A and B are shown apart, each in its own frame.
Chain A
Amino acid sequence: MNRRNFLAFSASTCLTLSAGIGFADAQMADVITQPVTISFYNYNLASAGIGREATLELIEAFEKANPLIKVEPIGAPSNEVLSRVQADMVAGQDVDVAQLVFRDLIYAAEQLGAQPLEDVVGQELADHAGGFVPSGLSLGEVEGKTYGLAYVFSTPIMYINRTLFEQAGLDPDQPPRTWEDVKAAGIAIAEKTGKHGFFPGAYGPADGTFVYQSIVMSNGGKVRDGNTLTFAEKNQADAVAMLRDLIDSGAHARIDVGAHVDTFQSGNLGMFLYTSAVLNRLESAAAGNFELGLAAMPAFGDKPTAPTNSGSAIFMFSQDPVKQRAAWELMKFLTSDEAYTIITTKIGYLPLRLGTLDDPRYLKNWIEANPKYRANLEQLERLTPNIAFGGPNYRQVENMMKDAVTEAVFGTGDAYEILRAAQERAQPLMPR
């Protein structure tokens, strides 16, 4: 190779390489022309029964509509899916799309490398989000950019065992509206039927903090303000003290915090505040056993309630432009009118697109046949984003908060003091 050829060769190599690098950074591909496979980490797949079946049905429908895209579904339970995604990234596997719970939002955006959708898909995001509920997109926002596209989500809802209500001499058609009502009804159920009055799904290992945060925010408090923890402040602690008062009065059950669903399913619990996502499961358990009713979450006096979102958003992790297009197509499909028709009727999550309720092609007939779901849908107007924690120790901080709340409610010490001590211990673990 002579000198001239060598220079030409080097130059062309450099050009090719830089073109390659430029390519990786380029905008998402406009169309897909070659078959492509993307991975989809999903926690509904890890559940037995309807959640899994409905998700597989969605993927099948998507592949049928997009024959060039193949989706490789990977299931992991909701409290483990983040670890799975992280472990697979560490192992060098391609993670393209993942369904992650909202508590991991900041971590996914800042540490895991989720793609900011505004930057990747541009205007297509706003076009697609046109029919979302008002605060729909903001659920997945971190510092002004959308990292998670709200997917299957629900709000806390009060499940009522109507049979127990009747046995306790209460009117199941007038379910408790405020916490005062919950206390009275809980005491009546405990005393007259010997069963348990009220329990919130707020303390167990798989519960997350959305029910607790809903209660706190309904009392006008927030668990953190920027990087300052505030879960021991006035309104926040008052809300926990209220739960403690329910315990002391006998209205709030003392049961295994991990077995609340079992207890309600077996007909031993009168009022159960938990995600609407388990509605189908509770309905089938109640059939032939007791009559199930639904009510909106209780309020603090006249204050409006602040239902937060449990559930998950879908995140894009693909770097490759073609895979990004495939991932975005999947994300759009999973949050489309068709998808929510399947998700809402089969799994029991809320439709992110309320327009589906007025359209006979989608959910209109279903909501007319199942009017009790309205209690949950009405809460959507007041949907308040769940607060995630940031920084490398975010899960520790969240755990410490949850442990403190559990101890304040079930323990023997002073509720305010327990929360204050925990907040003091956890604050140094927050980012500065």
Chain B
Amino acid sequence: MAVAHTYAPPRRLPRLKLRAFEPWLYLAPAVTVLLMWTYVPLLQAFELSFYEWNMLPRSQPRYVGLDNYVNLLTLPDMKRAVVNTILYTTGLLPLSVGVPLVIAILTSDLRGPMRNIYRAIIFVPMIVAPIVAAIVWRWLLNEDHGLVNALLQHVGFNAIGFLRDPQIALWTLVWITGWKLIGFSTLLFAAADSAINPTYFEAARMDGASRWQVLRDIRLPLLSPTILLLTMMTFLFGAQWSFVYINALTGGGPLGSTTNVYYLMWEYGFMTMSAGWSTAAGILVFTVLGVVSLGCLASMKRLAVYDD
């Protein structure tokens, strides 16, 4: 028995093994990268959120249980940041989806150089470095000597404290973030629009459909995957895109009116050196956004129309 066993298929065994492991072998590089850069840090962040630590190798992390979470949920900063994050996200939607969609549709019928000129003009803000854009906007919007307020006063309005007034500052940052995004979204919409098979339009026109009917019944449904994609991206990343402008222009102020959860996380982690606070905030945001993105994916499956 023992002899038979040792003698039994000496060649097949390794081959069988290899075959079973083959898919894993191909997946290994991707899985390793994913584990190393996403899941392991995620778990470490989760662990760190129960500690008080300033990230210095010489100092020992101190276990504080749920203290970080309790601090976050009881101090007013986080609450304000969450409300602001929702405002940022909803405020960005018209600029990241609505306006670009209209521009893409309106410019799709243009032909020749005019079309490229229009699109180039719309795309330029996208390639301006964010920090440069921030500084230029700060000058333009200054209450005393900014060009925008000079124009407003010239036509008879009062000067507006775009970055000074707590009621307005957040919307100023939403505008700057959106202004940078319009080009990118327009590009995606224009690409999706030109990918629609033109025979649909010809067939519809032959059936006597008006421009509006073509738009409503053919264009918009076929653009729906892109619309939903950009909406989801705005939900998930919108507030993140405004980070540079918060950092460069307001530092979360005036009176905390422009801070959001991403800025708060960065402030805790890198300005106040509290890895625990920052990771606790990160875990909370991760959980909420996880739920939001599951909802988005589900609605995408239900609402999107694909041209199969």
Contacts and interface: CB of A to CB of B under 8 A. Distances in A.
Given A268-B145, A392-B274, A403-B256, A258 B59 contact: no
Nearest to B76: A425
Interface residues of B, number: 34
B155 interface: no
A257 B255 CA distance: 10
Interface in B51-67: 52, 54-59
Nearest to A206: B251
A132 to B, nearest CB: 30
Contact of B56 (A90, A256, A268, A410): A90
Given A205-B253, A258-B163, A406-B255, A83 B145 contact: no
A169 interface: no
A396 B272 contact: yes
Contacts of B253: 203-205, 257-258, 406
Given A256-B161, A266-B144, A268-B144, A410 B254 contact: yes
A256 B273 contact: no
Contact of A395 (B52, B254, B273): B273
B251 A395 contact: no
A57 B104 CA distance: 55
B114 interface: no
Chain B CB within 10 Å — which of A86, A107, A256, A425 has the most? A256
Given A268-B145, A396-B274, A410-B255, A86 B55 contact: yes
A19 interface: no
B255 A89 contact: no
B224 interface: no
B249 A112 contact: no
Contacts of A406: 253-255
Contacts of B270: 83
Nearest to B271: A395
A332 to B, nearest CB: 27
B274 A425 contact: no
A256 B142 contact: yes
Nearest to A426: B75
B164 interface: yes
Interface residues of A, number: 37
A281 B75 CA distance: 39
Given A257-B254, A259-B163, A111 B249 contact: no
Contacts of B250: 205, 258
A83 B251 CA distance: 17
A254 B161 contact: yes
B209 to A, nearest CB: 53
A407 B75 contact: no
Given A410-B254, A411-B255, A111 B56 contact: yes
Interface in B62-80: 71, 75-76
B142 A262 contact: yes
Chain B CB within 10 Å — which of A86, A203, A263, A393 has the most? A393
B251 A86 contact: no
B251 A407 contact: no
Nearest to B58: A113
Contacts of A111: 54, 56, 58-59
- 3 closest pairs, A vs B, by CB? A205-B251, A395-B272, A256-B164
Interface of A: 79, 83, 86, 89-90, 107, 111-113, 195-196, 203-206, 254-259, 262-263, 266, 268, 392-393, 395-396, 399, 403, 406-407, 410-411, 425, 429
23 contacts: A79-B271, A86-B54, A90-B55, A90-B56, A107-B273, A111-B58, A205-B252, A256-B142, A256-B143, A257-B164, A258-B251, A258-B253, A259-B142, A392-B52, A392-B54, A393-B274, A396-B277, A399-B271, A399-B272, A403-B256, A410-B255, A411-B255, A429-B71
